Structure 1
Amino acid sequence: MSGEGIDAKQETGQGSSVAPASDPSPVKGWVTFDEENEKKKKDSPAVISAETVQITLERSLSKSAESPSNNVAVLGPKPLRNVELPVATVEPIRQGFSNGDVIVTLLPVNSRFPWITPALFRPELVPEELMAQGLTLTVEEYVQTMELLVNDVRFTLYNVCYKRILVAWITLAFIVLLSLLFSGTSGLTLFGLGIGWLVLNAAAIFLSMYLKFKLQRNLERCLAQVNKQLLRHKIIIALDDRGKISCHKVNLCFLYMDSAACISHLQTTIEQQERDPSSGWEQRMDITSNDIVIQGSRTTRLSRKQERAALLYLRYAARWGRDRVKDLLVSPPAAGGRHCNSITCPCQYIEEHLHCKPTGSCCFYIADPNVQSEVFGSIHLPTLPTSSV
């Protein structure tokens, strides 16, 4: 019975039991070594698990004090305050100009050995005062005008030699004198050499003054060509030499001056002076206005008498501007100047100069006080009486 029961249980179990699942067969692969596994671990990039961090900005410090256990950075805001900006000290660019006003003064740009090297001006540096409202000068015209002035030989010679000719000769003369005294010569030989030194020194001083006069005159002619480019813009450029020995104090001054009224008045004055041929006023003008000759099968001559007033204005415009900057112009009466409010206008200045100017150039040093002060410095020479025409 027991055996039958066991068989019956087995038969019953066989009917309700499920066959066990078979084990998966191992996957076939390549044989790997430990060295290759280590190399792959080294080549594989490191992976860093990302952590989320939350930062809360609180507007007060009381909330952060309530939860000191949180490791969260709490940033407290700084108190706001009003910051006052400093008031600008740069003066605004002038908008309006009247006749005789100084627009701007250009200083030399060289700073290395300023007492030895001559003054240097760079045409590409344009002052903003010349671009003010009311002025018609453009940047291109300013650069062209300055290049014309800087590249002129007459301006370079004046800039280098004017203040140094007399000083160089005086220095050389003292060196020669000291060499004669310590040369060991004595008696009549030393006396004769001393007399020769005095004569040579006097001749060299007069030669230096003549060269300075020629440099000044050539500079005025150079500035006349430059002012011709600035005439339509109502601007006059003048040179103010404020140095004694050095050439570094040469300044270029730009002045505002409407030349239409002055040129018209000068034209009327020239026509009146032409009626009296014995006055010699035409020789005093010191301008060249030769007729234009067109050569060909039929020669044609074009008169330039209408341009003499403009040429005369340009000839002395730079000298008038120099005296204006130095405050050497005589103040007009209470009614005011002819074309300027507080100073003598250029046409008045030119007429007074030509009336007092002698016909010969040999007495020009003594007759003109401006050239006298430039050439002789502090030496005051007697002025010859000249008859006004």
Structure 2
Amino acid sequence: MVPFAGVHPCRTTRHPARLMEPHGGVPQTRFSEASGTAAQIAVSAHEEKITNGTNAPVDPHATRGARVERESFRNGRIICAVYPENTTMAWIVPARYNPYSMPKSLADDRLSISAEDYVTAMEMITNDFRFRCYCMFYSRLMALWISLSILVLILVLLGQPNGGLGVLIFALIWMLILLLGIICILITRKHMLIGLRHCVQSANKLLIKSDMLAGVEDRGQLSCHKIVVIFMYIRSAECLPDIERLIRQQNATAQPRAIEMSAAEVKDLALRLVLKYSQNYVKETSKKRLLFPTRPLEGVSEFSPKHCATSYCLCQYVEKRHFKRSPREWYERIF
């Protein structure tokens, strides 16, 4: 990927930025709102694997309906996934991201996200210590603790071949320590997810103005280099009125008395709910967990297609996770 430098949030001057056409056509010029060196937007290695050998010339006899379809993105579509730059020693070396290298798919003229917003959002996510802790420890803490516990037991048994009461007592005590360690790790992992959600939430507060949402997904096992940042196109303006309606309904039926909120407070709360659940919504949509059933064997959904044709839209996800959530048990609150 080709980096660009000198990006500054000033919007007074415009400089052209070269980029490749989305369908492999002739490079065209697009203006980048920057006050320094022109931004270079190029194809990433992962995008190049997908597009190589699949480019086809545009049919000049295409119908007007097909052209209109290409002019707009489907609501809830995953635009791209940003992978780390480093690829060696994935189990040891932390992932490194280059926020100054913008994927080609985000430079499409049909998207309103600017280079400055992309750089700022990526820096807010990848430079946050909560994101780094998630990348390094979330998938590894449990494996490391269990491996260490088994290693200690093996060393003790090998060091005392005759066994005895002392070894038995130590083994029982160590099993209790192992159990307590697992409980502490589960609690720590939950707080890591909460911290990651707050980290992505701060970036989405900026991206939502451009009809975009970001999310973090772990696509590997123990590898640090499978943590990807996903960008989704979502028209949140269509979902916010429905969430505001749900807030008013909840306030009207609150016990012991109704809750009074001004229109501005309702709008602010609706936006905060959207940002709160944005990380999980993007991640679950990317994993295809929110698709509507298409066959009888897949069951029946409690929702019908609304703002997204094939999956839950953002307002339906917030309604299910927040307004229709069943009371949690005590252990669910801890873990």
Residue 109 (structure 2) aligns with: 133
Tell me the CA shift for residue 362 of structure 1. 3.6
Residue 57 (structure 1) aligns with: none
Candidates 309, 319, 324, aligned match of 1:351 = 319
Tell me the CA shift for residue 202 of structure 1. 0.8
**Distance in 2 separating the partners of 1:260 and 1:169:** 45
Candidates 200, 210, 220, aligned match of 2:187 = 210
Tell me the CA shift for residue 267 of structure 1. 0.8
**Distance in 2 separating the partners of 1:187 and 1:266:** 65
**Distance in 2 separating the partners of 1:334 and 1:358:** 19
Tell me the CA shift for residue 149 of structure 1. 1.2
TM-score normalised according to structure 2 size:
0.71
**Distance in 1 separating the partners of 2:106 and 2:71:** 10
Residue 173 (structure 1) aligns with: 149
Question: Quick check: 1:363 aligned with 2:332?
Answer: yes
| One-letter identity of the residue aligned with 1:353 | R
Residue 45 (structure 2) aligns with: none
Identity of aligned residues (%): 28
Tell me the secondary structure at the aligned position of residue 277 of structure 1: coil
Tell me the CA shift for residue 116 of structure 1. 2.1
Distance 1:226 1:357, change over 3 A: farther
Tell me the CA shift for residue 253 of structure 1. 1.1
**Distance in 1 separating the partners of 2:167 and 2:117:** 62
Alpha-carbon contact 2:124-2:199 (below 8 Å) kept: no
| One-letter identity of the residue aligned with 2:101 | L
Alpha-carbon contact 2:215-2:279 (below 8 Å) kept: yes
Tell me the CA shift for residue 89 of structure 1. 2.9
Alpha-carbon contact 2:87-2:225 (below 8 Å) kept: no
**Distance in 2 separating the partners of 1:305 and 1:265:** 11
Alignment map for 1:140-179 (pairs within 5 Å): 140-179=116-155
Tell me the CA shift for residue 304 of structure 1. 3.8
| One-letter identity of the residue aligned with 2:80 | V
| One-letter identity of the residue aligned with 1:275 | A
Alpha-carbon contact 1:273-1:279 (below 8 Å) kept: no
Distance 1:198 1:356, change over 3 A: same
Alpha-carbon contact 1:108-1:120 (below 8 Å) kept: yes
Deviations 1:138-170 (A, max 9, x none): 112211111111111111111111111111101
Tell me the CA shift for residue 352 of structure 1. 1.2
| One-letter identity of the residue aligned with 2:192 | L
Aligned-pair Cα RMSD in Å = 2.8
**Distance in 2 separating the partners of 1:107 and 1:91:** 23
Distance 1:118 1:234, change over 3 A: same
**Distance in 1 separating the partners of 2:303 and 2:120:** 40
Distance 1:213 1:182, change over 3 A: same
Tell me the CA shift for residue 91 of structure 1. 3.8
Question: Quick check: 1:319 aligned with 2:280?
Answer: yes
Candidates 107, 113, 117, aligned match of 2:83 = 107
Tell me the CA shift for residue 195 of structure 1. 0.4
**Distance in 1 separating the partners of 2:74 and 2:232:** 10
Tell me the CA shift for residue 303 of structure 1. 7.0
Question: Quick check: 1:260 aligned with 2:237?
Answer: yes
**Distance in 1 separating the partners of 2:256 and 2:328:** 10
Question: Quick check: 1:117 aligned with 2:93?
Answer: yes
Tell me the secondary structure at the aligned position of residue 236 of structure 1: strand
Residue 238 (structure 1) aligns with: 215
Alpha-carbon contact 2:208-2:236 (below 8 Å) kept: yes
Tell me the CA shift for residue 249 of structure 1. 0.8
| One-letter identity of the residue aligned with 1:128 | K
Residue 53 (structure 2) aligns with: 89
Aligned length: 260
Tell me the CA shift for residue 336 of structure 1. 5.1
Residue 309 (structure 1) aligns with: 270
Alpha-carbon contact 1:164-1:246 (below 8 Å) kept: no
Alignment map for 1:377-388 (pairs within 5 Å): none
Tell me the CA shift for residue 327 of structure 1. 0.6
Where relative contact order (Cα < 8 A, 6+ residues apart) is larger, the structure is: 2
**Distance in 1 separating the partners of 2:135 and 2:72:** 32
Tell me the secondary structure at the aligned position of residue 363 of structure 1: helix
| One-letter identity of the residue aligned with 1:358 | P
**Distance in 1 separating the partners of 2:256 and 2:282:** 28
**Distance in 1 separating the partners of 2:256 and 2:98:** 45
Candidates 219, 229, 232, aligned match of 2:196 = 219
Tell me the CA shift for residue 118 of structure 1. 2.4
